[in-house]
Chain A
């Protein structure tokens, strides 16, 4: 056995001496240091805040997936198929009535999934309608989509010009433009609502099971699972790195310093991710992983819930067909 000659400690060993500047006290705080200044978040901080919001929403979604609602109890395979069919119907519908019916169906499904309707409608309805509306607004006017005027917005007069361009006599919202714009908005709101309903009422593993039933390769599913799991770990690391940097920065955060921090953090994160990935693989092997994950079905799906969802879906699709 090895036995290097390292002496045991003795009373004559020198005591550690610290550098003298460590004992230098700080000057008292001056008057300027107590001024309240508005802190402006830089790009890195804003990105982190945004990333944390993602974490918060993911946690909220997992909590909804555990509620005892119709959507939560339906089997993931049936759910994926039903929602895909409804999304397809929303994409292919050519009229306001079928899209309105589909959106109404989404609201009903949200209620059956025990979602907070105000929050659901606010996020998937109002927000989507507003931003889509901004995008399609020019298309609703006679400038892009000539047609029967409904509301005259501006009267330019008979020979109005803008430099070399001849302007129409009036700018109005047209019936055809409005119909087309509303269809786009409603289609976007319906599609977003359907995707949101599917993802928040289905646990991550269950969603993967449903997608695997549609042919998603197991390796791809595993990749998504590990990414989902470890994104939060890595976000925490980034947060800690940024906090440590903030705690040691004495001057302002000029753009150049921020970019250097970003580059250094990306490099450090890459190394840590690589090391973590290796350990994770070892941990998986140690617990029997042989390249193909055997999924654990935590919640037993309810046949009646799956049947009810399928029946509702068929009803909605039938309604779309009738009112098309």
Chain B
């Protein structure tokens, strides 16, 4: 069922999503993501990046168009099958933009343990993974703390640890660096580089061009009209100043003094 036969990890065809029947979020988006790719989803606020990630994570379903993950259609019916649900959830991890929505356990330890526990890992394995994640994200001292006591950077680290604990093949990250201090930012980038070396597939939704430059080989720019404006190598996207300005990814001050 999950054999590596060269099929793309994600295949999205003409997907349209509308909220409340009136507010478009995606207006006919198509893309393919191969295993091991690192893709930056760039676009201004409200263009549909988060919506696309949730569609890829099987949390939202399009009004029209098709989505395939690992060669299988991603629909409510397919996710209702327990075996497919478990495997899909194990393979695809989503880091939400709102950390508070993602941290719903009483302590950090229990938060990181939640995913492996739900997927049926033995208790010793759960404990081992939690310890490893606490060490990787440098949050060992937070194990017994309640999430609401943490700073935004700490919450983001805990949320990432919680997602990585199930060892997903694909990592979907929604604005991972928003509100982070430089050191936490650096740590996150180091971890993403490490995951890249391990062959993980990364999709990072961001309007942080520097992050896109650092972690993604490929950039997909979604415009304010909720369509794909560009899909190609990241250096090519970042060199096109006119495109970046029109896509509302840079402003006048950047145009006058570009830093990338």
Specify which of A59, A276, A279 is in contact with B146 (CB 8 Å cutoff).
A59
Can you name the residue of chain A whose Cβ is closest to the Cβ of B105?
A229
Q: How far is the CB of B210 from chain A (nearest CB, A)?
A: 21
Can you name the residue of chain A whose Cβ is closest to the Cβ of B162?
A287
- The answer to the question of A181 belonging to the interface, with a C-beta cut-off of 8 Å to chain B, is no
Cα-based distance from A290 to B107 in the complex (angstroms): 21
Can you name the residue of chain A whose Cβ is closest to the Cβ of B28?
A2
A13: B residues at CB distance < 8 A: 252
A131: B residues at CB distance < 8 A: none
- The answer to the question of A62 belonging to the interface, with a C-beta cut-off of 8 Å to chain B, is yes
Known interface pairs A283-B102, A296-B126. Does A290 touch B82 (Cβ–Cβ under 8 Å)?
yes
Q: Which of B118, B163, B224, B241 has the most CB of A within 10 A?
A: B118
Chain B: interface residue total (CB-CB under 8 A) = 54
Segment of B34-42, B64-72, B93-101, B198-206 engaged in the interface with chain A:
B93-101
Are the CB atoms of B89 and A287 closer together than 8 Å?
yes
Cα-based distance from A225 to B94 in the complex (angstroms): 22
- The answer to the question of B176 belonging to the interface, with a C-beta cut-off of 8 Å to chain A, is no
Cα-based distance from A230 to B102 in the complex (angstroms): 11
Cα-based distance from A170 to B106 in the complex (angstroms): 58
Are the CB atoms of B106 and A225 closer together than 8 Å?
yes
Are the CB atoms of A229 and B106 closer together than 8 Å?
yes
Are the CB atoms of B104 and A280 closer together than 8 Å?
yes
Cα-based distance from A203 to B115 in the complex (angstroms): 20
Are the CB atoms of A2 and B118 closer together than 8 Å?
no
Q: How far is the CB of A16 from chain B (nearest CB, A)?
A: 11
Segment of B133-141, B189-197, B225-233 engaged in the interface with chain A:
B225-233
B107: A residues at CB distance < 8 A: 62, 203, 298
- The answer to the question of A1 belonging to the interface, with a C-beta cut-off of 8 Å to chain B, is yes
Cα-based distance from A165 to B224 in the complex (angstroms): 84
Are the CB atoms of B144 and A8 closer together than 8 Å?
no
- The answer to the question of B214 belonging to the interface, with a C-beta cut-off of 8 Å to chain A, is no
Can you name the residue of chain A whose Cβ is closest to the Cβ of B252?
A9
- Grouping DSSP codes into helix (H, G, I), strand (E, B) and loop, the B interface class, with mixed when no group exceeds half, is helix
Cα-based distance from A295 to B82 in the complex (angstroms): 19
Known interface pairs A225-B106, A229-B147. Does A286 touch B230 (Cβ–Cβ under 8 Å)?
no
Can you name the residue of chain B whose Cβ is closest to the Cβ of A278?
B101
Cα-based distance from A288 to B162 in the complex (angstroms): 12
Cα-based distance from A280 to B106 in the complex (angstroms): 14
Are the CB atoms of B148 and A283 closer together than 8 Å?
no
A230: B residues at CB distance < 8 A: 104
> A residues 38-59 with Cβ under 8 Å of B?
59
Q: How far is the CB of B100 from chain A (nearest CB, A)?
A: 5
Q: Which of B107, B228, B242, B245 has the most CB of A within 10 A?
A: B107
A62: B residues at CB distance < 8 A: 106-107, 144, 146
Are the CB atoms of A2 and B119 closer together than 8 Å?
no
Cα-based distance from A283 to B50 in the complex (angstroms): 13
Can you name the residue of chain A whose Cβ is closest to the Cβ of B86?
A288
Known interface pairs A2-B225, A288-B119. Does A279 touch B246 (Cβ–Cβ under 8 Å)?
no
Known interface pairs A4-B223, A232-B148, A279-B98. Does A296 touch B113 (Cβ–Cβ under 8 Å)?
yes
B92: A residues at CB distance < 8 A: 286
Q: How far is the CB of A63 from chain B (nearest CB, A)?
A: 9
Interface string of A283-306 (1 = CB under 8 A from B): 111111110011111100000000
Known interface pairs A2-B223, A6-B246, A62-B146. Does A287 touch B106 (Cβ–Cβ under 8 Å)?
no
Can you name the residue of chain A whose Cβ is closest to the Cβ of B253?
A9
20 sampled A-B residue pairs with Cβ under 8 A = A2-B223, A2-B227, A8-B246, A225-B105, A229-B105, A276-B100, A279-B96, A280-B101, A280-B104, A282-B54, A286-B57, A286-B59, A286-B92, A287-B114, A287-B163, A288-B119, A288-B166, A290-B85, A293-B118, A298-B107
Q: A205-B106, A279-B98, A296-B123 are in contact. List 8 more A-B contacts (CB 8 A).
A: A2-B229, A8-B241, A229-B106, A232-B146, A232-B148, A287-B162, A296-B126, A298-B107
B binding-site residues for A, Cβ under 8 Å: 54, 57, 59, 82, 85-86, 89-90, 92-94, 96, 98, 100-102, 104-107, 109-110, 113-115, 117-120, 123, 126, 144, 146-149, 162-163, 166, 223-225, 227-231, 241-242, 245-246, 252, 255-256
